[in-house]
Structure 1
Amino acid sequence: MGVGMQIVYLGFAGSRTLEGEAGAQLVRLERYSAILSAVRLAIEAMGMMGPQTMYDARLDLLLLSRADRYRPVARCSHANVQEAVRRAFDVAECELRTIAACARR
């Protein structure tokens, strides 16, 4: 059984391409399935910043441990929605690496 993911779009309609990108990024977190049960991804169109719309991607990690079961991860913003999602998963991967290292101690 793998890590589950819920995606919420705010202020714009999602797309299969974006869902595919999020799914591909989720694969990176599968190696942490011993401590991670699911992720919640929220992607929000933040409005126009100059000539472009900015997108904000936020991940919440649902951990298997007793303490800190729900852990929000830092927000990542970018004019390219896929880049915002990739950056959010980068931050989540670093966070999970730290949690896993602490669990081994």
Structure 2
Amino acid sequence: MEVGMQIAYRGFAGSAAIEAAAAGELARMQRFAGRLTGCHVAVELMRSASRADRFDARLDLIMRAHELIPMPHSVDEDARAALHVAFDAAVREMEKSHGQG
């Protein structure tokens, strides 16, 4: 089975580059497909008058046992970098709590 993904954008329309980055990151999760059915991804633009805009990326892992595991938020000026850090945390969580796949 394949791990699915739903992605939502808040504060901006999203982009093909962000979609591609998220899909690439999701590929790293496929080795956990025996226990993981999908993840919900949210990328939010946080506008700031005093500094550069930043992106908040967060995801929830959806386990086959219907358990929802929220991952820590990741914030960066580059949405793709924020996604990478968020998925890094998800991979570590799966390796630590659920075995290597």
Q: TM-score, normalised by structure 2?
A: 0.92
2:73 is aligned, of 72, 75, 80, to 75
Instruction: Name stretches of at least 5 consecutive residues in structure 1 with no aligned partner.
Output: none
Q: What corresponds to 2:37 in structure 1?
A: 37
CA RMSD of aligned residues (A): 1.5
Looking at structure 2, the residues matched to 17 and 49 of structure 1 have their Cα atoms a distance apart, in angstroms, of 25
For 1:16-95, what aligned pairs fall within 5 Å after superposition?
Answer: 16-48=16-48, 50-65=50-65, 69-95=67-93
Q: What amino acid maps onto 1:76 in structure 2? A: S
Matched, 1:2 2:2: yes
* Cα deviation, residue 48, structure 1: 1.8
Cα distance in 2 for residues equivalent to 1:27 and 1:49: 36
3-state secondary structure, aligned to 1:52: coil
- Runs of 4+ aligned structure 1 residues displaced above 6 Å come to none
Residue 46 of structure 1 and its aligned partner are, at CA, apart by 1.2
- Rounded Cα–Cα distance in structure 1 between residues aligned with 2:10 and 2:57: 10
Q: Which amino acid is 1:31 matched to?
A: R
TM-score by length of 1: 0.89
> Offset at 1:49?
6.5
- Could you list the runs of 5+ residues in structure 2 that have no partner in the other structure? none
Identity %: 34
Alignment length, in residue pairs?
A: 100
In the alignment, structure 1 residue 99 sits paired with structure 2 residue 94: no
- Is 69-78 or 50-59 further displaced after alignment? 50-59
